[in-house]
């Protein structure tokens, strides 16, 4: 079990690092990873990114499926941090080794269990690609 958690965590960290490089390579964006974002008692996003005009706080997930669930608390904490930081709250998901998709938390679909879900189909339909997000 510990190995599974470590591999899952490593996959998430690798995804975050991939996005950090993608932002910096644009030349007009900066991006940092918030260490321990998922293990602190205080709300904290995975990534902070800005081009000086647009500020983003993001929860980042890499999944081996076509859907990803977010708890109500995860979304609430991200939105709280974004509000206090003066930034837009977004989720970023990379499905099954494909491309990155992004969606503002305000657009997430609520489940019957009062959590949130994003699907690959929905992200392709109304989500943003990295290029669209950073325009």
Catalytic residue set? 37
Determine the 3-state secondary structure of 87 from DSSP.
coil
Edge-first strand order for the sheet with 109-110 is: 67-70, 116-119, 109-110
- Whether 74 and 41 have beta carbons less than 8 Å apart is answered as no
For 23, the token pair is: 């932002």
- Whether 36 and 48 have beta carbons less than 8 Å apart is answered as no
- Whether 118 and 67 have beta carbons less than 8 Å apart is answered as yes
């Amino acid at each position: 079990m510990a190995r599974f958690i470590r591999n899952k965590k490593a996959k998430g960290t690798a995804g975050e690092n991939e996005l950090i490089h993608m932002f910096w390579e644009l030349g007009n964006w900066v991006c940092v990873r918030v260490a321990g974002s998922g293990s602190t008692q205080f709300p904290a996003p995975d990534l902070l990114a800005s081009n000086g005009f647009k500020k983003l706080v993001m929860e980042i997930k890499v999944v081996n499926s076509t859907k990803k669930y977010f708890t109500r608390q995860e979304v609430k904490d991200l939105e709280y941090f974004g509000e206090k930081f003066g930034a837009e709250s977004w989720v970023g998901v990379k499905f099954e080794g494909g491309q990155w998709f992004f969606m503002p938390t305000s657009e997430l679909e609520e489940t019957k269990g009062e959590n949130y879900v994003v699907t690959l189909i929905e992200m392709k339909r109304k989500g943003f690609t990295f290029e669209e997000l950073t325009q």
